[in-house]
Structure 1
Amino acid sequence: MGAEQISAWLRAGRLAARYPEVPGLLADLDATALARAGRLLARLDPDEVARHHPGIPSVTVAITGHGTLAPLVPALTAELARHGLLLRPFSGDFDGYVFDLSDPGSALYAVDPDIALCVLDPAVVFDEVAVPWRPEDVERVLAGKLRLIEWLAERFAAVARGTLVLNTLPLPSLLTSQLTDHRSRARLGAAWREAGAALLRLSAAQESLVTLDLDALVAEGVPATDSRMDLYARMHLSAGLLGRYAREIGHLARDLTGRTKKCLVVDLDGTLWGGVLGDDGREGIEVGESHRGEAFRAFQRTVKQIGSQGVLLAAVSKNDPEPVREVLREHPGMVLREDDFVRVVANWRPKHDNLAELADDLNIGVDSLVFADDSAFERGLVRRELPGVAVVALDGEPALHAERLLADGWFDSRDLTADDRARAARYREELARRDFLDTFDSLEGYLAELDVRVRLEPVTEAQVPRVSQLTLRTNQFNLTTRRLQPADVRALAADPDASVLAIHSADRFGDNGLVGAVFLRRDGAVLHIDNFLLSCRVFSRGIEQACLTAVLRHGAATGAKAVLAPYRPTARNGKVRDFYPRHGFSRVGGGSGDAEETGGTEAAEFRHDLRSIAAPPAHLRLIDGLGGETQ
């Protein structure tokens, strides 16, 4: 149905206008249907989509490699469209990867890619191995290729701002079988895998590099090569493997555009355990002991593992709350316990209402949620009422639950920081803050007792990855949503005319960690706030006002005559479109710049003349690391 609808819109000339509906059509397509949809979508002009929908994020992806990579463009088009993104592709010449990546004047660098794909295949090595060959001949070529690829990666990091993607080389049995003795085959396999390990280790040494492990995809049963296409078309990786590769790139693009999901919400009956708690009772549900019970335990282990890496876990179930609490606290077969979740919601309300309320409680968008449920009815209702929620389709086979949850890499990110690992505990503290708020008659009284402490200071080297991550993931309080890689943050911090400031906060419930950043640039007598962003966890506590006051005081103290600050609207930062006008700025070019005037659709620039700077909120303590006064 999805590919047919896309085809109909394309024929009618309406596909660009209907592009926001495409992700829903692609959500449940199998590989064959998705490939067909990708071929249709690849015929669409990205500029036409952008004219209809300027708010849709576009991602420029440059493709280079050794062999024919024609199927990759439609596959990438479909995979990015699944996540609400628009692909702007560039394809290099056949076997042009060395020139494309080594020459700063190449067409690849000219397109300024967000992501550059250097697609490697076994022929990269074996095209240079003479016949007859022995394992040591392959080892020699491998060593030379590794040196070349490492140099190309360093070249890219020095020239480009985007992310370079390499991959390990699958080793087809067609090659190993050409060696007739097992000892030689073992030596070839060892050398090949050592080269793969070296490629994987490159990503640890270079921040702008990601290496995909294609061996893991081949292990799923995806053919590494297609002999006919390999020989006749010089396409050295199979179309199926290129399709799975494209899916991984879709996950990376989602992370780089700030669309990584934050919270996994699971159903209980039929999802975390077998049976229906209300009918079967605590002793009658399936978890542990039986084969099916062990499958549910295995799924719980997967969920717990995800939660240990900064993904928030929540449960939403149609059940009475007390029996659910008893199972989570006392059932001997459970891997997940009550304190693994930031929230357990058990009632008889519609699940989409509970999901919307959960997102509000956590102060995140509903589009940050992933919902896993075995009920087709519940999934369909959530899709209809909350289309931004990613829905994972489970069924009556618990042995496949983990596979289906992980298939879309909803929580994949390039790096994991210490703040990520502490995220669940901090969100639990945030819910405790909300419960604390309920004991007060006024917000003012609550804030006075919360004991908020804010520290604003220049970013340190150790904080660079976290600041980069905030630019990639923060969407609501993000005045320009400019996405920065660690190298970009580091370059700005080293620029004598720029400053990167880290925002830390804490209160009576605990340390919130590094929760925001301000990017400043000095141009003569004008101080520019190039961006200002703050984690949704700490909204509405006066932190943003205190930091803005410190920046304005810093500008005045260092001889600035004015501060200029832009606002660039997106689909998710509308709540801050009046941030600068509310704090003494005037819109450049006339008008007050209030919410109605900017309309949330046009970029605007605001100016503060530094004549009157408001004091920071009285309820918090500001530690000003810019040389200003601490309050």
Structure 2
Amino acid sequence: MSQRHGPRQARQELRALYDTGRLADAYPELPALLARLDDDGLDSAGRLLARLDPADVLAAHPGTPAVRIAVTGRSTTAGLLPALTAQLARHGLLLIGHTGGSGSYVQDLADPASKLYAHRPEATLCVLDPLTVWDRVRAPWQPYDVALEAERQRLLLAELAAAHAAHAPPGAALVLNTVPLLRRFTHQQTGLLQRCELGAVWREFNADLLRMADPATGIAVLDLEPLTSAGVRADDPRLGAYADAHCTAALLAAYAREAAHLARALRGDTKKCLVLDLDGTLWDGILAEDGPERIRAANSLRAGAFAAFRRTVEQLASQGVLLAVCSKNDLGPVARALAAHPDWPLDVDDFVGIVVDWGPKAEGITRIAAELGIAPSAVVFADDSAFECESVRARTPGTAVVALDDEPALHTEHLLADGWFDVPSVTEEDRGRAERYRERQRREHRQEGAKDYESFLRGLGIDVVVAPAQDHDSARIAQLSLRTNRFNLTGRRLSAAQVERLAADPDALVLAVRAADRFGDDGVVGALFARRDAAGLHLDNMVMSCRVLGRGIEDAVIGGLLYAAQAAALPAVHARWRPTAANAALRGFCPAHGFEPVAGPDEDGGGVLYRHMLADLRPLPAHVRLRLRLSPTEPEEVARCTPSSI
């Protein structure tokens, strides 16, 4: 599809695809097309895409990632599905949706036999419109009466959340939202003091809703206040009176955008690295023309807007977003410019990758991704040049492109518009990610100085501990299962709540893999999910962070598991590999460690089942000090399963 035209041309292309019956066939191309649409265009696109049968898309493209979402609410919610369809399509996701009847949310969520649960949703959007609570308040009323009804509503939602956790598929999220307070209610109070009391009551109600958010229990809450404070009108009295539709189309569209970001985050589809241009993006001016000393940092109002953007970037980095630079410049002046100003919040050490040359930026982004060991699809690229943005879109499919302009005061708004870095919860491992990548770079520098790779590995002093997961590990292990693609034996994704349930199951086994070496502590870098029965130990899945691959850790862990199973007198260890879009290299992982394929198909469809009879165990990597414990009750001496004493 052409990238040279604007929103109008994009709308015409989309309409032509629909009119000629080619929309399903072109579905993988839609993210690039939808990226060119404005809000009105996305509204039209949603209405077209909502007519598309998801089965047709999956028939044409079986690998299309689909997300099952149910929508219910206090009033009519059907208008949300088209907007949600378009927003998910923008991110390459296919909506398989269900919507309940008007005002049916209590029945939908409370009844285990409801159509909502029959849909088997990954996420349920329970839309709380602006009349939530007010439909139960009777005149004459005072703020105290509203407080009572708000508390009743909160208790009802807590009961419905418990019902959803019991009846929805494991790991499914219930999504609530804060409720806008309308002027037509506040100003029914003529006393200014009582109006303030009502405002306080309502803010406490919304605060209680926000406190219900808990990834471990599968509850998410969308805060609508940032949307309404940005000018989105919450209600249309006429639609409310005549159609029982109490949310405006603009509010539903903004809600759909946030819900799509949430869906991506729940699926682990979160970007890892922000690659930034310099001239006109991080600073005001052209370095090659102005020179390092004349690039302004924060000494003018316009330069102050750039400084505010850099502080936003710094805030993202503090939560685990990797920063890199890709600029058409000369390296020396760039290094001097980054160090030139005392009020500069970022310096060279804050960037895990810097590509400064005069080559295509698409190649620079690909190089940065390769050096970090991530895919280009895990990268967000921000630039103020329309040419560079379109070039990167065309040459690095999957890379998210943030098109900035010549107004630096809007850079932050553009960067944060699509929630590329949203995660269910930020962990300590996230906050230390940049430092771990710098440790990786130090390892690589040492490797370059070593005579051979084996001597390099021996010099690392790798220490690996594999033990039953603790409560505080659940969020990190869930994050690994959601975001790890290359080393994920089966591709199975788990929420924190599912990890906690497995860890509490006496028949299941969740092992956390921790690694450290002379350059630092990597924390939890992997996990094993297993269960025991009379046939032995069944390894249901194994995930390992890509940042530690190649050090022999994965070989030590699987080998150690076999030694521990033998020491526990288990008859065999069973495993499976199921292919995904990214784990093809793991097809030979189990056979390389002595597993034999078992005749018959994988019970879950596709893939290969393996079995190891534990008769012939291979030596573990000599450079890894491994301690492995299958359960808290087993002595560590049994779990020290390396052939040599450690």
Give the equivalent residue in structure 1 for 2:261.
251
Aligned partners of 1:28 and 1:302: how far apart in 2? Answer: 25
Give the equivalent residue in structure 1 for 2:640.
629
Q: Structure 2 vs 1, CA of residues 333 and 205 (structure 1 numbering), >3 Å: closer, same or farther?
A: closer
- 5+ residue gaps, structure 1, are 594-600
When structure 1 is superposed on structure 2, of 281-290 and 578-587 the one drifting more is 578-587
State which of 102, 105, 114 in structure 2 corresponds to 1:94. Answer: 102
Aligned pairs for 1:428-447 (under 5 A) are 428-447=438-457
Aligned partners of 2:102 and 2:306: how far apart in 1? Answer: 48
Could you give the per-residue CA deviations for residues 587-613 of structure 1, whole angstroms, max 9, x where no partner exists? Answer: 33389x9xxxxxxx9533233232222
Aligned partners of 2:474 and 2:594: how far apart in 1? Answer: 30
Contact 2:215–2:495 (8 Å) recurs in 1: no
Aligned partners of 2:217 and 2:333: how far apart in 1? Answer: 48
Aligned partners of 1:367 and 1:178: how far apart in 2? Answer: 52
Give the equivalent residue in structure 2 for 1:213.
223
Aligned partners of 2:310 and 2:585: how far apart in 1? Answer: 37
Kindly report structure 1 stretches of 4+ aligned residues shifted beyond 4 Å: none
Give the equivalent residue in structure 2 for 1:142.
150
Residue 619 (str. 1) matches residue 630 (str. 2): no
Q: Following TM superposition, by how much is the alpha carbon of 1:221 offset from its aligned partner in structure 2, in angstroms?
A: 0.6
Give the equivalent residue in structure 1 for 2:139.
131
Aligned partners of 2:215 and 2:393: how far apart in 1? Answer: 41
Could you give the per-residue CA deviations for residues 223-266 of structure 1, whole angstroms, max 9, x where no partner exists? Answer: 11122211111111111111111111111111122210001111
The residue type paired with residue 640 of structure 2 is: E
Residue 407 (str. 1) matches residue 417 (str. 2): yes
- 5+ residue gaps, structure 2, are 1-8, 631-637
Give the equivalent residue in structure 2 for 1:61.
69
Residue 179 (str. 1) matches residue 183 (str. 2): no
Contact 1:356–1:366 (8 Å) recurs in 2: yes
Give the equivalent residue in structure 2 for 1:238.
248
Contact 1:587–1:605 (8 Å) recurs in 2: yes
Q: Structure 2 vs 1, CA of residues 205 and 261 (structure 1 numbering), >3 Å: closer, same or farther?
A: closer
Contact 1:525–1:559 (8 Å) recurs in 2: no
Instruction: Indicate the SS of the match to 2:157.
Output: helix
Could you give the per-residue CA deviations for residues 506-547 of structure 1, whole angstroms, max 9, x where no partner exists? Answer: 111111110000101223214221111000110111111111
Contact 2:72–2:100 (8 Å) recurs in 1: yes
Could you give the per-residue CA deviations for residues 58-91 of structure 1, whole angstroms, max 9, x where no partner exists? Answer: 1111111111111111111111111111111111
Aligned pairs for 1:353-502 (under 5 A) are 353-502=363-512
Give the TM-score normalised by structure 2.
0.93
When structure 1 is superposed on structure 2, of 97-106 and 507-516 the one drifting more is 97-106
The residue type paired with residue 628 of structure 1 is: A
Give the equivalent residue in structure 2 for 1:34.
42
Give the equivalent residue in structure 1 for 2:86.
78
State which of 217, 226, 239 in structure 2 corresponds to 1:229. Answer: 239
Contact 1:224–1:237 (8 Å) recurs in 2: yes
CA RMSD of aligned residues (A): 1.9
The residue type paired with residue 619 of structure 2 is: A
Contact 2:215–2:496 (8 Å) recurs in 1: no
Q: Following TM superposition, by how much is the alpha carbon of 1:630 offset from its aligned partner in structure 2, in angstroms?
A: 4.4
Aligned partners of 1:441 and 1:356: how far apart in 2? Answer: 29
Contact 1:367–1:389 (8 Å) recurs in 2: yes
Q: Structure 2 vs 1, CA of residues 318 and 205 (structure 1 numbering), >3 Å: closer, same or farther?
A: closer
When structure 1 is superposed on structure 2, of 305-314 and 434-443 the one drifting more is 434-443
Contact 1:457–1:625 (8 Å) recurs in 2: yes
When structure 1 is superposed on structure 2, of 164-173 and 179-188 the one drifting more is 179-188
Residue 518 (str. 1) matches residue 528 (str. 2): yes
Aligned pairs for 1:282-293 (under 5 A) are 282-293=292-303
Contact 1:455–1:505 (8 Å) recurs in 2: yes
Aligned partners of 1:205 and 1:19: how far apart in 2? Answer: 31
Aligned partners of 2:81 and 2:607: how far apart in 1? Answer: 32
Aligned partners of 1:123 and 1:206: how far apart in 2? Answer: 29
Instruction: Indicate the SS of the match to 1:299.
Output: helix
Aligned pairs for 1:573-584 (under 5 A) are 573-584=583-594
Could you give the per-residue CA deviations for residues 420-463 of structure 1, whole angstroms, max 9, x where no partner exists? Answer: 11111101111111122222343222212222221111111111
Give the equivalent residue in structure 2 for 1:598.
none
The residue type paired with residue 72 of structure 2 is: T
When structure 1 is superposed on structure 2, of 400-409 and 40-49 the one drifting more is 40-49
Contact 2:215–2:424 (8 Å) recurs in 1: no
Aligned partners of 2:84 and 2:502: how far apart in 1? Answer: 32
Instruction: Indicate the SS of the match to 1:203.
Output: coil
Aligned partners of 1:502 and 1:238: how far apart in 2? Answer: 47
Percentage of pairs with the same residue:
50
Instruction: Indicate the SS of the match to 2:292.
Output: coil
Q: Following TM superposition, by how much is the alpha carbon of 1:98 offset from its aligned partner in structure 2, in angstroms?
A: 1.0
Give the equivalent residue in structure 2 for 1:605.
609
Give the equivalent residue in structure 2 for 1:203.
213
Instruction: Indicate the SS of the match to 1:577.
Output: helix
